[in-house]
Every structure is written in structure tokens, then in C-alpha cells.
Amino acid sequence: MSLSRRKFLSTAAVSSTAGLIMGAPHVARAQSTQTFEWRMTNAYGPGAPFYVEGPGSPTDFCRKVEALSDGRLKIHHFAAGELIPALEGFNAVSSGMIEMNAGNAYFWAGQIPAAQYFTTVPFGMNTQGMNAWIYHGGGQQLWDELYASRGLVAMPMGNTGVQMTGWFRQPIEGIGDLNGLKMRIPGLAGKVYNELGVAVRLLPGGEIFPALERGVIDAAEFVGPYQDRRMGLHKAAKHYYTTGWHEPTNVTELLINKAVWESLPADLQSIVRTAAMACNLESQAWCESVNAEALADLVENEGVIAQPLPTEVVERLEMVTAEVLEAMASEDAETRKVHDAFMAFRDKHASWAGVSEKTFLNLRA
């Protein structure tokens, strides 16, 4: 028997007597021993590093919560297809069928266009800026407001950092090379590409390589060098563009049913938030630690041509992005509110990043 257990038993009679006299403290003590078992589904398939397993991953989050709560909150994790299909998490959690889901908010764009701003925005903010906005710039409050009427609570639980433009079977030498291209690309970037004549496809991770290899698509974006190499994308295309215009950050969303969230005692809610924040930091640090080696290997040993997009293409993409975002924001009040808040913080953060991070990185260039 553990010391804490013996201490609990030795004080039980005193606690019960105090409870009869004081009422509320007894309820608080009883509530603190209540246990919970939840299920978490995932938009990504079994074994995927970062998205399912590894440092700061959803399964790591589940372990952290169980350890920090001393077993009072146990979360059973199910990768895509093990309990529900890959992109059914939003509806499953909203309906109460599942307590939690791990994925990306931009997957729910068809139901909540403004949700995309909580994953990434083309030409938006990097990971430092995104974290600053969500945690201390009003972003989390907007996220809460957006999801409350859908019976949901969400928060960051991971971040890949900046992502690569993607893999192309043929080189991109000018803006005209995008017209007619078939590309796997999610989120707001897909809308931008669509305006430039790209036939956009939204495919789960497991379907990207076979589609690219067979020529069903001409190009594909996934994450970054480590993850892309693991999927074998370099075997289907050799032109790897590094300009992370479309996803300068990418937030993993922890989605929770609002009713079950509110059923948790305050200390368990704090444990969930703390574990999620820890995973947000650890997952991005892990990505930074593995991508450099993977990129060097792809270039030096696999014949990959890694380079930025031509300036002409990037400038046109930025112009169309501004048009697409403004048009989307004009369609509904929710999106307008989130868009304006995001852009205002982006501009404020850029003024600081321009004299801090950018200046330092330029010294090392």
C-alpha cells in the first residue's frame, strides 16, 4: 500500500466528520477522487510519427494526462479507422459519441470556415506568432466562442512548425505551370491554388503516395522532410519546393465535447490544458530536431532537388491569398471577426519579429 493511500485511509474518518459539519468541503474531497475514462479518435492513421506516436504526440498526451492525474483521467486513443473514419472526428465529438479527437481545425472548414485560422493561414504567422496569438493575444477566447455553439472546446496540442510547399513531378518555373495541375493540398492554401487553376484534392495521408506515384495527382503537400521521407514521396516526385508560404505553422487541434469537459473537476481540466501545452512545445521541438538530417539525406542520397519557389510565383500567391481571405471573411460574421483579429495580431507581431528573429537569422544567412 502506498504512503499516500495509507494517509488517505487514516484521515478518512476525520474527513467524513468534517464533511457532515461543513458540507461543501466534503463534496470537494469526494469529487477529487472521481475517475474518468474517455476515448480519443484521430484524423491520422496508426503509427504516424508526430500525429499519433512519439514525443508530444496524441498518444504521448494521453500518457501525460494519466500520469499527472494519478490515473483519475484515462484516455484510450484510437487512430483513424480504428473506431471511426479519419475525418469524422468533429461530428463524433460534437454529438457526444466520442469525448476527444486529435486532428486539425481546417478539416472542418466545410462546417466552420473560420476554424481554418486556428490551424494555419497562408502568409500568416509562424509558430511563435501563432502561439502568442492563441495563448496571449485573444485567439483562444475566439476559438472558445466559435466552437461553444457546436458543443465543443478546443486547444492546441501540437505543432509541426513551418511546412514545405510540397512535391512536384515537374518543375515550377512560372505561375503558368500551376494552371491545370492536380494537387493534394488542404486548408486555405487549397482555395488560393484553386484560383490559379490548380485542381485541388483533399486526400488522407495514407492515400497521398499511391496517388502521386500513379499520376492521379501531379503534386502533393504533406508536412516536412522527415514525415515526407517516411511516406516515400521522394520516390514519386523529385522536385521539392521549400517555400512554406501556405503553412508557416500548423497547429494540432485537441477537440473535446463541451459537456464532458465541463463535467471534469477544475484540477483535471488544468491537467488537460497543461499536458496539451507541453505537447504543443515538445512536438514542435521534435520536428525541428529531425528535419535537418532528413532534408540532407533526401538531397544527398535520394536525388531530390530542394529549392524555393520562383519569386514571381510567390508574389502572385501572396496577392491571391489576400483576395481569397478577404472574400471568405466577407461571407459570414464569424469568419470576419476571427480574420480581423488574426490579421491585427499578425501585423503587430511582425513589427517585433522583424527586429528580433528576422534580424538574427539574417546575420547567420
Q: Is the pLDDT of residue 330 over 90?
A: yes
Q: Is the pLDDT of residue 17 over 50?
A: no
Q: Is the pLDDT of residue 10 over 60?
A: no
For 87-154, give the DSSP string. T-HHHHHHHTSSSEEEE-GGGGTTT-GGGGGGT--TT---HHHHHHHHHHSSHHHHHHHHHHTTTEEE
Final residue before a domain boundary, out of 236, 260, 290: 290
Q: For residue 62, what is the domain's CATH number?
A: 3.40.190.170
pLDDT tier, 118 (very low <50, low <70, confident <90, very high otherwise) = very high
Whether 241 and 327 map to the same domain: the answer is yes
- Structural domain count, the chain: 2
Instruction: Give the pLDDT confidence of 249-258 residue by residue, as tens digits.
Output: 999 999 999 9
The average confidence (pLDDT) of the chain is 91
Residue 21 in any domain: the answer is no
pLDDT tier, 202 (very low <50, low <70, confident <90, very high otherwise) = confident
Whether 271 and 320 map to the same domain: the answer is no
Instruction: Give the pLDDT confidence of 337-364 residue by residue, as tens digits.
Output: 999 999 999 999 999 888 888 888 888 7
pLDDT tier, 126 (very low <50, low <70, confident <90, very high otherwise) = very high
Residue 17 in any domain: the answer is no
Q: What is the pLDDT of residue 363?
A: 82
Whether 241 and 316 map to the same domain: the answer is yes
Residue 79 in any domain: the answer is yes
- Taking the model in full, what pTM does it have? 0.88
Query: Does the annotation flag 221 for ligand binding?
Result: yes
Whether 278 and 300 map to the same domain: the answer is no
Instruction: Give the pLDDT confidence of 283-325 residue by residue, as tens digits.
Output: 999 999 999 999 999 999 999 999 999 999 999 999 999 999 9
Whether 221 and 306 map to the same domain: the answer is yes
d(CA 104, CA 106) in angstroms, rounded, equals: 6
Instruction: Give the pLDDT confidence of 103-116 residue by residue, as tens digits.
Output: 999 999 999 999 99
Q: What is the pLDDT of residue 364?
A: 76
Q: Is the pLDDT of residue 26 over 80?
A: no
Whether 64 and 150 map to the same domain: the answer is yes
Average pLDDT over residues 160-175: 97
For 42-57, give the DSSP string. ESS-TT-BTTTBSTTS
Residue 177 in any domain: the answer is yes
Residue 3 in any domain: the answer is no
Residue 126 in any domain: the answer is yes
Q: Is the pLDDT of residue 243 over 90?
A: no
Whether 138 and 68 map to the same domain: the answer is yes
Q: What is the pLDDT of residue 354?
A: 86
- Structural domain boundaries, residue 210: 166-247+291-363
Whether 139 and 55 map to the same domain: the answer is yes
Q: Is the pLDDT of residue 2 over 80?
A: no
Q: What is the pLDDT of residue 261?
A: 98
Whether 276 and 335 map to the same domain: the answer is no
Which one has a higher pLDDT value, 124 or 354? 124
Q: For residue 235, what is the domain's CATH number?
A: 3.40.190.10
Whether 237 and 256 map to the same domain: the answer is no
Cβ atoms of 296 and 304 closer than 8 Å: no
Whether 257 and 350 map to the same domain: the answer is no
Whether 130 and 269 map to the same domain: the answer is yes
Q: What is the pLDDT of residue 263?
A: 96
Query: Does the annotation flag 184 for ligand binding?
Result: yes
Closest CA to 189 of 244, 139, 140: 244
Element (H, E) at 41: strand 36-42
Cβ atoms of 349 and 126 closer than 8 Å: no
| Rg (the chain; Cα; Å) | 23
